[in-house]
């Protein structure tokens, strides 16, 4: 199960806190595991080692090469990181730096069947 928008606290105009989002993540990962599903942390690189402690099994990052966040995910999850890059230059940089440690794919933003689909 992919849990996205874990950083919604920073767009909530003060209605949510980081702690609220961490508590929600813990509830959702427990539910996923109870249903026999793995739980993926989606984005929020700043969660760091707290991600696995909250029950996440792996991470899905969008543009960690572009934003230079791949190391945060790799430190927390080792090789259980799946990164999607949308710009060729970010894909090349991510592959050069992290391609031997994490899974990196270049896709078109529409993730279309005939669109770009390269891996390093």
pLDDT digits (tens, 9 = 90+) for 92-119: 999 999 999 999 999 998 878 888 889 9
Q: Number of structural domains, the chain?
A: 1
| Ranges assigned E (strand) in the chain | 2-3, 40-42, 58-62, 81-85, 103-107, 117-119
Query: pTM surpassing 0.75?
Result: yes
Three-state secondary structure string covering 15-33: CCCHHHHHHHHHHHHHHHH
Rounded Cα–Cα distance for residues 85 and 18 (Å): 26
In sequence order, what are the residues at sequence separation of 6 or more whose Cβ sits closer than 8 angstroms to the Cβ of residue 13? none
Domain containing 93 equals: 2-119
pLDDT (tens digit, 9 = 90+) per residue, 41-73?
Answer: 998 899 989 999 999 999 999 999 999 999 999
Cβ distance 25 to 57 under 8 Å? no
**pLDDT at 109 (0 to 100):** 87
């Amino acid at each position: 199960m992919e849990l996205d928008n874990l950083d919604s606290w920073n767009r909530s105009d003060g209605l949510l806190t980081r702690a609220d989002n961490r508590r929600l993540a813990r509830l959702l990962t427990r539910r996923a595991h109870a249903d026999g599903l793995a739980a993926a942390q989606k984005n929020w690189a700043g969660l760091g080692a707290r991600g696995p402690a909250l029950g996440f099994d792996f991470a899905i990052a969008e543009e960690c090469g572009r934003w230079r966040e791949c190391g945060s995910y790799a430190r927390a999850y080792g090789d259980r990181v799946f990164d999607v890059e949308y710009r060729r230059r970010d894909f090349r940089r991510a592959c050069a730096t992290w391609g031997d440690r994490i899974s990196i794919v270049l896709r078109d933003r529409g993730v279309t069947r005939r669109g770009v689909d390269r891996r390093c």
